[in-house]
């Protein structure tokens, strides 16, 4: 091999292995290969492990619209409380009528337990809002309190506010509460005034920290969103995962139910309510307070390309039979949802869906470029379902890159069947998922070195090392993910994006692990895998450049060597990773 332009880095390997000798790495800077796409390292958000309600979504009240099947789930009641069902928001029709006892010492009240407690902090501000009316005209008063039942501090000192409900018509009332104490397992209490004479109706009872991510009122937890922003992701895949498919057709993810006024977004049963574990999450519902508008906005604010995943007319194949899928001749509304989503994200404000985006606060287009259709679907049914989507999207939106699925595995019959089919359908990228052990990840660091360069590009859409015998976030798991990612970036000419999964887990209510970021109501815990993601994303290369070690390819095949090299130093040494950057050298 003739060096044209190269610089050499001599590395004393003794620091790594006492028996190893010096090696010379040559970085062939004149042989620039593929550009490493901006989308290379991204994030994937799914509402699993209480990732949305009880997680990223900063709402602190559980079952705020009284729409859980047991309408008062999450609430304790005192006195005469009636659940009504002719409320002002037709897709969430239930509300609560609080009826006065007629005696000042007999209270009428409701109390919300929050998500694993209502956790509030001294010195912070919280925005309480409620829709209410006095059906017979009133006026009357209600009182809201933040309380800590475990504390011996006088509850009345915590935070309280009185609200006068002055109308027989439904109206939104808002007050700001500033607790004088911190409580981890607090509650929110709502009392009818002790001198009350009139029933008061309440609906959509909501409590948010004022300090949300970028101050958005229907906002996200600042710390969790910041953890995402700190990754500087190039792509943001949402909203699933299995929840896109649904356990049944009814509870599949439908983006149109997640936009518009939050009060009227219908509740959905979460597909992760009891899966895989014995931890029955009987209160795991999706308020859809966090919806597609919010995801697009977050993508924009953290500089990531939005990548929505849409249902292809098929329910989760693990949980259903072929006859449970939507028949091929009934896919029209599903396909229309895909086309309308492009209009919602990119359309002019004079269009129906573009106008809704503008009304929600974002007249400028979101710049949608990618769309995945189907998650982990497989078999000929998937191909038949996907084909009309591809045709319609290509016809109306040739600018959109379509992502197809290769099924849930990466070395089985389903996978081997789907790849050629995806190529035949002409999708732009194929989504591959890997939840494997450390041997698999280390062994697959070279996976893409020999992939066909003629097929669609690869999106490593879900991956995480599940260490053998111990499915936890372990350092060796994170390290083997790093080795694998090295191979992704080295093959950036065909692997255009990758996203770890799952992203979030609430320590008090998870269904799946390992996960990238753990949290409780106050704290965020970033894992080793997170640090690997951050390292790779922040120090992503710009171009693939050949690297040789002592004159031989450092990794991969001739002509495909990247700016990274990974491998075994010698037979006595542990696996290690050499990260070589052609510029700037300070990154080493
Ligand atoms: O990330 C958890 C789940 O793993 C996703 O919902 C699904 O796509 C995959 O099976």
Do the bridges between strand 7-11 and strand 23-27 make them parallel or antiparallel, or are there none, so unpaired? antiparallel
Q: What's the pLDDT score for residue 4? A: 43
Q: Which of 306, 298, 391, 316 is closest to 341 using CA atoms?
A: 306
Query: What is the set of active-site residues?
Result: 376
Compute the distance between CA of residue 241 and CA of residue 272 in angstroms, rounded to an integer.
10
Compute the distance between CA of residue 274 and CA of residue 53 in angstroms, rounded to an integer.
16
Measured N-to-C along each axis, helices 292-302 and 332-346 cross at an angle, to the nearest 10 degrees, of 40
pTM over 0.75: yes
Shortest-distance Cα residue to atom 1 of ligand 1: 502
The average pLDDT across 499-520 equals 96
Q: Count CB neighbours of 45 within 10 A.
A: 25
pLDDT at 491 over 60: yes
Shortest-distance Cα residue to atom 6 of ligand 1: 241
The average pLDDT across 351-373 equals 98
Scan for tokens 């997640």, then name that residue. 258
pLDDT at 144 over 50: yes
The average pLDDT across 514-540 equals 97
Shortest-distance Cα residue to atom 4 of ligand 1: 241
pLDDT at 479 over 60: yes
Compute the distance between CA of residue 57 and CA of residue 287 in angstroms, rounded to an integer.
10
Shortest-distance Cα residue to atom 5 of ligand 1: 241
Better pLDDT: 552 or 464: 464
| Contact present, 39 and 234 (Cβ < 8 Å) | yes
Compute the distance between CA of residue 293 and CA of residue 396 in angstroms, rounded to an integer.
22
Atom of ligand 1 nearest to the CA of 375: 8
Do the bridges between strand 171-177 and strand 7-11 make them parallel or antiparallel, or are there none, so unpaired? unpaired
Residue 133 buriedness (CB in 10 A; 0-12 / 13-18 / 19+): buried
The average pLDDT across 485-505 equals 96
Q: How confident is the model at residue 33 (pLDDT cuts 50, 70, 90)?
A: confident
Both tokens assigned to 200: 């008061």
The H or E element that residue 465 is part of is strand 457-465
First to last CA, the chain: 26
Residue whose CB lies within 8 A of the most ligand 1 atoms, among 49, 253, 433, for a mutation test? 433
Angle at 140 between CA 139 and CA 144, to 5 degrees: 140
Compute the distance between CA of residue 394 and CA of residue 208 in angstroms, rounded to an integer.
42
Compute the distance between CA of residue 442 and CA of residue 567 in angstroms, rounded to an integer.
9
Rounded to the nearest angstrom, the distance between the alpha carbon of 242 and the centre of ligand 1 is: 5
Percent of the chain surpassing pLDDT 70: 89
Compute the distance between CA of residue 299 and CA of residue 233 in angstroms, rounded to an integer.
9
Both tokens assigned to 193: 């005034």
Rounded to the nearest angstrom, the distance between the alpha carbon of 241 and the centre of ligand 1 is: 5
Atom of ligand 1 nearest to the CA of 462: 1
Q: What's the pLDDT score for residue 393? A: 98
Task: Give the binding-site residues of ligand 1, using a 6 Å CB cut-off.
Answer: 46, 48, 240-242, 375-376, 408, 433, 462, 501-502, 512
The average pLDDT across 403-428 equals 97
Strand-by-strand arrangement of the 200-209 sheet: 80-84, 95-99, 200-209, 126-133, 171-177
Residue range 96-127, pLDDT digits in tens: 999 999 999 999 999 999 999 999 999 999 99
Q: What's the pLDDT score for residue 274? A: 66
Rounded to the nearest angstrom, the distance between the alpha carbon of 190 and the centre of ligand 1 is: 39
| Contact present, 152 and 178 (Cβ < 8 Å) | no
Q: How confident is the model at residue 23 (pLDDT cuts 50, 70, 90)?
A: confident
Q: What's the pLDDT score for residue 543? A: 86
Compute the distance between CA of residue 283 and CA of residue 69 in angstroms, rounded to an integer.
10
Which residues face 436 on adjacent strands?
Answer: 465
Measured N-to-C along each axis, helices 475-490 and 528-538 cross at an angle, to the nearest 10 degrees, of 20
pLDDT at 275 over 60: no
Rounded to the nearest angstrom, the distance between the alpha carbon of 375 and the centre of ligand 1 is: 9
Atom of ligand 1 nearest to the CA of 240: 6
Half-sphere exposure of 323 (CA within 13 A, CB side): 0
The average pLDDT across 78-82 equals 97
Q: How confident is the model at residue 461 (pLDDT cuts 50, 70, 90)?
A: very high
Which range, of 25-39, 99-113, 176-190, 515-529, averages the lowest pLDDT? 25-39
pLDDT at 75 over 50: yes
Task: Print the SS3 string covering 218-269.
Answer: CCEEHHHHHHHHCCCCCEEEEECCHHHHCCCCCCCCCHHHHCCCHHHCCCEE
Q: How confident is the model at residue 151 (pLDDT cuts 50, 70, 90)?
A: confident
Q: Which of 92, 77, 76, 109 is closest to 170 using CA atoms?
A: 92
Shortest-distance Cα residue to atom 7 of ligand 1: 241
Q: How confident is the model at residue 467 (pLDDT cuts 50, 70, 90)?
A: very high
Q: How confident is the model at residue 516 (pLDDT cuts 50, 70, 90)?
A: very high
Q: Which of 129, 144, 160, 141 is closest to 200 using CA atoms?
A: 141
The average pLDDT across 403-414 equals 96
Residue whose CB lies within 8 A of the most ligand 1 atoms, among 240, 245, 319, 376, for a mutation test? 376
Q: Which of 26, 29, 16 is closest to 549 using CA atoms?
A: 26
| Residues contacting 239, CB < 8 A, separation 6+ | 45, 46, 47, 253, 255, 258, 292, 295, 308, 309
Q: What's the pLDDT score for residue 138? A: 82
Angle at 457 between CA 580 and CA 439, to 5 degrees: 55
The average pLDDT across 16-28 equals 61
Which residues face 401 on adjacent strands?
Answer: 370
Residue range 220-265, pLDDT digits in tens: 999 999 999 999 999 999 999 999 999 999 999 999 999 999 999 9
Q: What's the pLDDT score for residue 113? A: 97
């Amino acid at each position: 091999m003739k060096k044209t332009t190269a610089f050499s880095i001599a590395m004393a390997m003794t620091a790594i292995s006492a028996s190893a000798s010096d090696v010379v790495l040559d970085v062939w800077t004149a042989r620039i290969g593929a550009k490493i796409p901006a989308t290379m390292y991204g994030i994937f958000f799914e509402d699993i492990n209480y990732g949305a309600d009880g997680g990223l979504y900063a709402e602190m009240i559980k079952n705020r619209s009284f729409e859980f099947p047991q309408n008062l789930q999450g609430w304790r009641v005192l006195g005469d409380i009636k659940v009504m069902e002719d409320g002002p928001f037709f897709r969430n029709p239930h509300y609560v009528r609080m009826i006065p006892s007629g005696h000042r010492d007999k209270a009428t009240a409701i109390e919300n337990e929050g998500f694993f407690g209502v956790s509030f902090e001294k010195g912070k501000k919280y925005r309480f809002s409620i829709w209410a009316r006095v059906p017979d005209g009133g006026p009357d008063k209600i009182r809201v309190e933040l309380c800590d039942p475990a504390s011996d501090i006088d509850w009345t000192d915590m935070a309280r506010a009185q609200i006068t409900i002055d109308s027989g018509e439904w109206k939104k009332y808002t007050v700001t509460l500033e607790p004088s104490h911190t409580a981890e397992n607090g509650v929110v209490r709502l009392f009818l005034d002790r001198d009350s004479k009139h029933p008061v109706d309440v609906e959509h009872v909501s409590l948010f920290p004022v300090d949300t991510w970028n101050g958005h009122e229907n906002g996200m937890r600042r710390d969790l969103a910041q953890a995402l922003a700190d990754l500087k992701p190039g792509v943001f895949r949402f909203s699933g995962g299995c929840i896109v498919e649904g356990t049944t057709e009814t509870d599949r993810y439908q983006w149109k139910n997640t936009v518009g006024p939050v009060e009227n977004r219908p509740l959905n049963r979460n597909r992760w309510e009891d899966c895989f574990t014995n931890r029955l999450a009987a209160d795991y519902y999706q308020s859809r307070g966090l919806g597609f508008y919010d995801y697009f906005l977050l993508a924009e604010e953290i500089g990531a390309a939005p990548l929505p995943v849409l249902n292809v007319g098929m329910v989760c194949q693990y949980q259903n039979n072929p006859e449970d899928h939507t028949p091929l001749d009934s896919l029209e509304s599903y396909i229309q949802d895909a086309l309308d989503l492009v209009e919602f994200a990119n359309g002019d404000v004079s269009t129906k869906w573009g106008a809704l985006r503008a009304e929600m606060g974002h007249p400028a287009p979101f710049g949608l470029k990618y769309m995945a259709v189907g998650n982990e679907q497989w078999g000929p049914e998937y191909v038949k379902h996907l084909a009309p989507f591809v045709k319609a999207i290509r016809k109306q939106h040739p600018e959109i890159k379509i992502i197809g699925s290769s099924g849930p595995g990466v070395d089985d019959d389903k996978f081997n069947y789907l790849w050629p089919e995806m190529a035949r359908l002409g999708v732009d990228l194929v989504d591959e998922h890997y939840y494997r052990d450390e041997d698999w990840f280390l062994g697959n660091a070279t996976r893409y070195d020999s992939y066909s360069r003629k097929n669609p590009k690869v999106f490593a859409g879900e991956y995480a090392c599940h260490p053998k015998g111990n499915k936890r976030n372990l350092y060796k798991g994170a390290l083997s993910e790093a080795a694998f990612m090295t191979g992704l970036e080295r093959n950036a000419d065909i692997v255009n994006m990758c996203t770890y999964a799952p992203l979030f887990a609430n320590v008090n209510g998870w269904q799946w692990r390992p996960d990238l970021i753990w949290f409780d109501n106050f704290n965020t815990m970033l894992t080793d895998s997170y640090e690997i993601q951050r390292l790779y994303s922040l120090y992503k290369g710009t171009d693939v450049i050949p690297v040789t070690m002592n004159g031989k390819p450092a990794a991969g095949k001739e002509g495909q060597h990247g700016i990274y090299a990974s491998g075994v130093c010698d037979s006595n040494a542990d696996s290690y990773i050499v990260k070589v950057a052609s510029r700037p050298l300070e990154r080493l």
